[in-house]
Amino acid sequence: MVFNSLTFLVFFACVLGMQRLPLGWTTKKFNLLLASYLFYAAWNPPFVLLLWISTVVDWYAAQKLVHAQRPAARRAWMLLSVVANLGMLGYFKYGGFLLANFTALAASVGVQYQAPAFDIVLPVGISFYTFATMSYTLDVYLRRAKPATSFLDYALFVTFFPHLVAGPIMRPTELVPQFAQPRQATPDMLRFGLALVTLGMFQKVVLADGFLAPIAEQVYDGDKLAGALDAWIGTLAFSGQIFCDFAGYSTTAIGVAMCLGFAMPDNFRFPYAAIGFSDFWRRWHITLSAWLRDYVYIPLGGNRHGEARTYMALMATMLLGGLWHGASWTFVVWGGLHGTYLAGERLLRSRFAGYRPGPWMLFAFALLTYALVNVTWVFFRAHGFAKAWSLLGGMFGAHARAAPIVATSGLVLTAVIILGLVTAHWWMRERTLETAIARTPAAVVSVGWAAMLFAIVITQGSGNAFIYFQF
C-alpha cells in the first residue's frame, strides 16, 4: 500500500477514525498494530512472517541478555539478534548478488559453475525495519537503553506503519516511550500533520513523478548517447526526483504520525544547501547517517585511533552505506565516492584549520558540493557501469556531437524546478519548516495548501511506488 493511492486515503481515514473513538489506550494500540500489519500485508501477506520473526527474536534476545550474568552469555544473545536480522537481510536482498559474484569469480579462475535460479522477491522495507529492530538489541547490549516493558509497545514500534517501509529509521528510545501513555492529536497537530501530508504528496506526485522522473528516464533509460547538456539535465532531474521522492515519503510519514498524536524525527534538512559533505550527511537521510555513525563508524574506531584508522573507518562506513542501498557494485561506488569526499574534506579542514571563508566563498562551496553530489547520483541511478561511464563522459564533454535527447521544454522545466529547489533549500538552510510556516500569513499558507492539493489531484501517474521501497 503506497501513501500516494486512494487505497491508503481510505485506510488512513479508517485508522484516524478508530483512534478518535472513546476506546481504552491498550485497545487503540492493538488496533494500530493490526492496521500496521494490514498495511504491510497489502504488499505481500507472507512477508508479515518476517516482521513477526524479527519482532519476537529481538524482544526475546533483549530480555535474555539484560538478565544474563556472564559477558559471554550477553554477547551470545546479542549475536542471535544480529545474525537473525542480517541473515534475513542478506538472504532476501543480497543472495542473488552474492551468487552472481561467486559465479563470476569462479569463471575468472576457469571454473564453470552454473548457479541455480535465485528468483527471490525482495520484501518491501526490509532494510529499514531490520536496522530499526537491530538497534533495539544493540542499545540494550551496550547499556544505552533499557528493554521495553511491554511486548505490545515493542511490536507496535517495529510495525508502526508510517515508518515501516521507508523510514525514518526510528530508535526504540524515540518511539516506544510514546506508547506508554494515551496520545491523541490536538487540532493544531492534526492541521499541521495534514499539511505535511499534502506537502509530501506534492513533492512525490507532482515534482518527482509528474515533472522530473520523465526527464531522468529519457536520459538514463534510453540507448542514445547523451551530450553534456542532456547528461547534466538528466542527472539534475534525478537529483530533484530522488530528493522529492524520498523527502516526500518522510514528510508524509511524519505528518501521518502527527495526525495520530505521535512525533517522528526529521529525515531531511534541506540537503542541497549543504556546505561540504559532512554537512550534506547531517542533512540527507539523517536517521540512516546517525545509525551508520553509532553502529558502524564508532565501533570501527571513529576518530579515536589516529588519522589512518579514522579514514579507514570512514570509508568502510560509506561503502557499507552504499551497499545498504542496493545489491549492486554501482551503489558501492556511490558510497565509495561519498567516503572519498568526506575523507578529502577532513584532510583539507586539517590543513587549513585557520581559514574562515566569507559568505560568497561559502556559497561557492555549496554549489561545488551540489555539483559533486550530482556526480555520485550517476552511479546511484544508472543500471550498470557502462551507462554510468557513458553519462559521466557526456557530462564532461566526451560526446560533443551527440544528438539531443531532451526537448527544449524539458530542459527549461528541469532548470526552473532545480533552480527553485536549490534556492528554497538555501533560503531555508538555517530555518525550520515549522518556524517558516508560523511566520507566513495564514491566507498565504491556505492558498499554497489549496494549490498543492489541486496540483496533486490533476497530476497523472500518482500510483508510482516510492524509489526507496526497493531498499
pLDDT of residue 118: 60
pLDDT of residue 115: 65
Kindly state the percentage of the chain with pLDDT values over 90.
72
Rounded Cα distance between 237 and 129, Å, is 29
CA dihedral sign, ordered 438, 250, 186, 176: negative
Provide DSSP, 379-407. HHH-SSHHHHHHHHHHHTTTTTTPPP-S-
CA distances (Å), 233 to each of 162, 212, 222, in order? 33, 10, 14
Task: Give the residue numbers annotated as catalytic, written as ranges.
Answer: 325
Is 182 in a helix, a strand, or coil? coil
63-67, 225-229, 378-382, 460-464 — which is least confidently predicted? Answer: 460-464
pLDDT at 471 over 60: yes
94 or 275, higher pLDDT = 275
Kindly state the percentage of the chain with pLDDT values over 70.
97
229-233, 269-273, 382-386, 462-466 — which is least confidently predicted? Answer: 462-466
User: Using 50, 70 and 90 to split pLDDT, how confident is the model at 117?
Assistant: low
pLDDT of residue 461: 55
The x, y and z cell numbers of residue 157, run together, are 514500534
Residues 6 or more apart whose Cβ sits within 8 Å of residue 281: 289, 338, 342
